[in-house]
Amino acid sequence: MKNTTRRLLAAALLAAAAHAQADDTFRPGALWPDDKGVHINAHGGGLLEHDGVYYWFGEHKVAGEAGNVAQVGVHVYSSRNLTDWHDDGIALAVTDDPASDIVRGAIIERPKVIRNPRTGKFVMWFHLELKGHRYDAARAGVAVADKVTGPYVYQGSFRPDAGAWPVDVTPADKDPATSTLARDHAGGQMARDMTLFVDDDGTAYDIYASEENHTMHVSRLTPDYLRSAGQYARMMPNGDDEAPAIFKHGGKYYLVTSGLTGWAPNAAKSYVADHILGPWKALGNPVRGTPEQQKITFGGQSTYALTLERNGCTRHILMFDVWRKMDAIDGRYVWLPVEWEGDKPVVRWRDRWTLADLDKLPCDGPKG
Ligand code: GAL
């Protein structure tokens, strides 16, 4: 093939890829081209709506297995319709300063951004692991920006809730001989897979896999959203949960998680609570479909739940990552609408769907 023909063909393919997405259609698991025709690079992501625009923040991965560590930073995209995404570039960049926590080669996972109405700042939290120390540090990293797309300025990292006991602590939890919680009491609790949640009253929470990933914590943030406030609860003690995605419906809190199998998919779990600090009650696997789909959650792992108010109805979209461990940049996104089975949120596979399909679902979730 001549070079010009090859170039024309490449341009036509790019245009076709971009066009494929420009029809308001979600295609779970497919390549998802941005406005430049490039597969969206925002893994372990989270969304923020600001002034009518959605912003998608996620891990920028590169090719190969080494692409799972941070080589670039946190990528941000924007959209008005949730299917067509504009590339807004790198919101938080790694540095080349070996003394920085976020030096290239550190691990920056599951970034989530919220806006603080009191300070007007955009606040990003993420799971941070220090370069060369695998997953041992288990820290929460925080970065702040004046503009939603950044640049975000790194504020530091820590283990949450140092010196504080959870609101639901038991005498056994305080025994350092047997309890990870007690072991980490002075230095702060381990914080790996995480998400953020802002409640209706503006109080924000960090939800993260703690205690060697065996017990998830929900931890209130300080009013500026920059630190943990020292008030927290153990959500599902020894539940072996990670990959939290949380949403509120009818006054109750719903949580979807995964089990602990690293990049390999496993069965999702779901929970409900009347109060965010618990107690949390198990609702079982939220995946509906074949036994295989239920066993591996369509090949995905939860990362975020987006809530939309549409035509007087509260809707939720659950977002999952299909990780590609050996070629991190090729990881896929599975977004599915939440349906209700009585008071249980469930998801079903769809090859393609639109927000119009979401609007056709019964508006009958549980009432508060
Ligand atoms: C998963 C976790 C991912 C990443 C991975 C590393 O369980 O959800 O965010 O940390 O392990 O193996």
121-142 pLDDT per residue, tens: 999 999 999 999 999 999 999 9
252 CB contacts (<8 Å, ≥6 apart)? 272, 273, 274, 366, 368
**pLDDT of 95 above 60:** yes
CA of 118 to the centre of ligand 1 (A): 33
Residue 247 falls inside a structural domain: yes
Q: Closest residue (by CA) to atom 5 of ligand 1? A: 262
What is the C-alpha separation between 182 and 215, in angstroms, rounded?
A: 13
Residue 210's beta-bridge partner residues? 215
**Residue nearest (by alpha carbon) to ligand 1 atom 9:** 193
Residue 154 has what pLDDT? Answer: 98
Q: Measured from the CB, is residue 325 less than 6 Å from ligand 1?
A: no
Residue 20 lies in a domain: no
Q: Give domain status of residue 216, yes or no.
A: no
- Has residue 7 got a pLDDT over 70? no
Q: Mutate which of 69, 109, 258, 260 to test ligand 1's pocket (most atoms within 8 Å of Cβ)? A: 109
Q: Where in the sequence is the domain holding 126, given as residue range(s)?
A: 34-158
Examine the pLDDT at 368 and tell me if it is beyond 70: no
pLDDT in tens, 242-258: 999 999 999 999 999 99
pLDDT above 90 (res 39): yes
Tell whether ligand 1 has an atom less than 6 A from the beta carbon of residue 243: yes
Tell me the pTM: 0.94
Q: How far is CA 20 from CA 42, 56, 86, in A?
A: 19, 20, 15
How far apart CA 257 and CA 249 sit, in angstroms, is: 17
* Residue from 43, 135, 193 to probe ligand 1 pocket by mutation (most atoms less than 8 Å from CB): 193
What is the gyration radius of the CA atoms in the chain, in angstroms? 20
Q: Are 197 and 208 in contact (CB under 8 A)?
A: no
Atom of ligand 1 nearest to the CA of 192: 10
Query: Does residue 40 sit in the same domain as residue 151?
Result: yes
- DSSP assignment of 196-254 equals EEE-TTS-EEEEEEETTTTEEEEEEEPTTSSSEEEEEEESSTT---EEEEEEEETTEEE
CATH, residue 79? 2.115.10.20
Inside any domain, residue 267: yes
- Residue 212 resides in a domain: no
Q: Does some domain include residue 14?
A: no
Q: Indicate whether residue 161 lines ligand 1 (CB < 6 A).
A: no
Please check the confidence at residue 15 and state whether its pLDDT lies above 60: no
The count of structural domains within the chain is 2
Residue at 148 is within a domain: yes
pLDDT above 90 as % of the chain: 92
pLDDT for position 367: 67
Q: How many CB atoms lie within 10 A of CB 81?
A: 11
Contact 301 CB / ligand 1 (< 6 Å): yes
Query: Domain check: are 53 and 147 in the same one?
Result: yes
| Residue 164 included in any domain | no
Mean pLDDT of all residues belonging to the chain: 94
Please compute the mean of the pLDDT values over residues 59-79 and round it to a whole number.
97
pLDDT at 354 exceeding the cut of 80 = yes
Which of 102, 128, 158 corresponds to the end of one domain? 158
- Pair (144, 252) in one structural domain: no
Phi, psi values for residue 192, rounded to 5° = -110, -120
- Taken as a whole, the chain contains a residue count of 368
Q: Do 46 and 152 have their domain in common? A: yes
Please, which residues have CB within 8 angstroms of residue 198's CB and are 6 or more apart in sequence? 114, 204, 205
Instruction: Kindly state whether residues 146 and 246 are assigned to the same domain.
Output: no
Ligand 1 and 193: CB distance under 6 A: yes
Dihedral pair phi/psi, residue 147, rounded to 5°? -115, 140
Cβ of residue 250 lying under 6 Å from some atom of ligand 1: no
Give the Cα separation of 106 and 100 in Å (integer): 9
pLDDT tens digits, residue range 293-344? 999 999 999 999 999 999 999 999 999 999 999 999 999 999 999 999 999 9
Nearest to 72 by CA among 99, 41, 48: 41
Q: Is the pLDDT of residue 21 over 90?
A: no
Among residues 158, 177, 192, the one where a domain terminates is 158
pLDDT at residue 9 tops 90? no
Provide mean pLDDT across the span 220-236. Answer: 98
Tens of pLDDT along 262-275? 999 999 999 999 99
Examine the fold and report which residue of 102, 137, 158 is the final residue of a domain before the chain moves on: 158
* pLDDT for the residue numbered 58: 99
**Ligand 1, atom nearest to 213 Cα:** 7
| CB-CB contact of 284 with 343 (8 Å) | no
Residue-level pLDDT at 3: 53
Contacts for 273 with CB less than 8 Å, ≥ 6 apart: 252, 253, 255, 279, 280, 281
